[in-house]
Structure 1
Amino acid sequence: MGSSRCQKDVGEYMSSLESIFRFPIDQLPFIVLVLIIALTVHEFSHAFFAYKFGDSTPKEMGRVTLNPVSHISLLGMLLFVIAGIGWARPVMINRSNFKQPRLMGIIVSFVGPFSNFVLGFLGAVIYAASIKYGWTDGWSSGAATALHVFLQYFIMMNVLLFVLNLIPLPPLDGYRILEDLLPLRARMELQKVEHWGFYIILVLVFIPPLYKITIGPILGLSTPIIQQFVIIANKLFF
């Protein structure tokens, strides 16, 4: 009786966790590992290009590194796991140090999401190659499954980050790109409401009816991108 009750309690506890997290609780290790890699490369890309374009700020703040500790926000990671949307520590950039502030600002903003686009495609290529060349032959079924699940999440999460970050709402990269594209007067008007951006995103994410007509359809654009990645990767090896 005691053992059955214990198993029941554990089952109920796991079910309650499943209702909290957006992803299956037993697959959270894969999600966390993928996010650490994806967010680290994303923020490093911002920092690296800003530094190469003449801004020493990221270098001085220790951001031109692939060390995850320098980039990961624990709160942002937690929210990503719970809500499917989160953040890393933003890279501080002084655009006035660029020779062409607006053009280089657009490039610096775009390379973050683009790095996730590239990682997603590489994940699809590695997945297809692992099947074609039998990289997991001789592995235990559990280890082979773990690799394939990791690669599936690696592809999905990186494409999601690519699409998500191009949404033109502050503090996302899409907003910074829009900001640099607009003429000065329009930019100044936009900056007046910039501080509301984070709260707008939270409202759109956590109110289901709004999510279904705003963020949801936008993130849905990741599906055809993933499908194309898989098609291209398969053509390379099959």
Structure 2
Amino acid sequence: MPTSTSRSSDRRVSPVFLGIVAVMAVTGWAVWTDFASNVKIAVFLFVTSAWIVSLCLHEYAHARTALHGGDITVGTKGYLTLNPLKYTHAALSIVLPVVFLMLGGIGLPGGAVFIERGRIRGRWKHSLISAAGPLTNVLFAVVCAAPFWLGALDGVPTPFRLALAFLVFLQVTAAILNLLPVPGLDGYGVIEPWLSYGVRRQVEPFASVGFFIVFGLLWIPQVNGVFFDAVYGILEGLGVSRFDASAGRSLYQFWGEWSFGAR
């Protein structure tokens, strides 16, 4: 029986996560004040650290929802500490999404924390656990876009505005991609409890490659065009212009843009 002390330790915010938040805060300040000798480097560090923070919050949302759904093991696994090093597949959850961010300039989802689904009863609970991560990206996007849709950009330095616009772009792309009903992604996890046993068994072998299927589809011009039209449509609804998002992306990829088709 876990004690109150152990439960407190299981849920204490990790110094690793606090360190990442500190990097985000310091580099964000450097971008805002133009303190850095090279603003592009500061933008790169600010956006990358903010992206990692959002990934940690994404995984935390899965774990926290699972805890309330009945899986009490998420605490002992360290998932409630926001420590990215505790994830079952840290490379999939953090490293790979950061690599795709650096190379492709888009927010691709990563691997999820391991939830013991057998402890959870009720299809709605299973669906909500899967949806919690992408909904966190949606919330992150709305918060970052607040200065745009509130018309509060007066006095905001241009590099910071562009970096913020690119962060919104990343969160929107991550939310859309992760909500696709593709095996291995959260979107499939939302609908999986409502599928028949036979369908789930047939789809199960594709779960390990779903992530890469989505990545490959983005190289198809027609799919790419439809995807980015949807992304920019949502951005405009949040008050973020296509120009700001694209300029922020170019500022981030200071070494030369390798584009997936963001126009």
TM-score with structure 2 setting the length? 0.64
- Structure number with the higher helix fraction is 1
Give the equivalent residue in structure 1 for 2:232: 223
Alignment counterpart, residue 199 of structure 2, candidates 175, 178, 186: 186
Higher-Rg structure is 1
Match of 1:29 in 2: 45
Counterpart of 1:228 in structure 2: which amino acid?
G
Q: CA deviation at 1:187?
A: 1.4
Which amino acid letter does the alignment assign opposite residue 217 of structure 2? L
Kindly provide the amino acid, as one letter, of the partner of residue 28 in structure 1: F
In the superposition, relative to structure 1, how do residues 41 and 185 fare at CA in structure 2: closer, same or farther (>3 Å)?
same
Q: How far does residue 86 in structure 1 lie from its aligned partner after superposition?
A: 3.5
Please say which of residues 195-204 and 104-113 is displaced more in the overlay: 195-204
| Structure 1 stretches of 4+ moved >6 Å | none
- 1:103 and 2:119 correspond: no
Compute the displacement of 1:163 (Å). Answer: 0.6
Aligned length: 195
For residue 35 of structure 1, report the CA deviation from its aligned partner.
Answer: 1.2
Shift of 1:119: 1.4
Name the CA distance, whole Å, in 2 between partners of 1:43 and 1:30.
Answer: 20
Structure 1 portions without partners, runs of 5+: 1-23, 137-143, 232-238
Paired residues of 2:107 and 2:173 also in contact (CA < 8 A): no
Q: Given the alignment, which residue of 144, 168, 174 partners 2:187?
A: 174
Q: Confirm whether residue 78 of structure 1 aligns to residue 91 of structure 2.
A: no
Correspondence for 1:92 among 70, 93, 114: 114
RMSD: 2.7
Change in Cα spacing, 1:215 to 1:98, as seen in structure 2 (3 Å) is farther
Mapped to 1, the partners of 2:66 and 2:184 lie a distance apart of 17
SS in 2 for 1:93: coil
Give the TM-score of the pair, scaled to structure 1.
0.70
Go from structure 1 to structure 2 and tell me whether the alpha carbon gap of 1:53 and 1:159 turns closer, same or farther (over 3 Å shift): same
Q: Deviations over 1:52-77 (max 9, x none)?
A: 11102322211113345545522331
| Superposed displacement of residue 197, structure 1 | 2.2
Residue number in structure 2 paired with 1:39: 55
Offset at residue 154 of structure 1 (A):
2.3
Larger displacement relative to structure 2 (193-202 or 24-33): 24-33
Q: Deviations over 1:24-77 (max 9, x none)?
A: 888433431231122111111111100111102322211113345545522331
| Identity of matched residues, % | 25
Task: Write the letter of the residue equivalent to 1:42.
Answer: H
C-alpha separation in 2, matches of 1:87 and 1:170: 13
Q: Which segment is superposed worse, 113-122 or 194-203?
A: 194-203
- More deviation in 162-171 or 67-76? 67-76
* 1:119/1:158 contact within 8 Å kept: yes
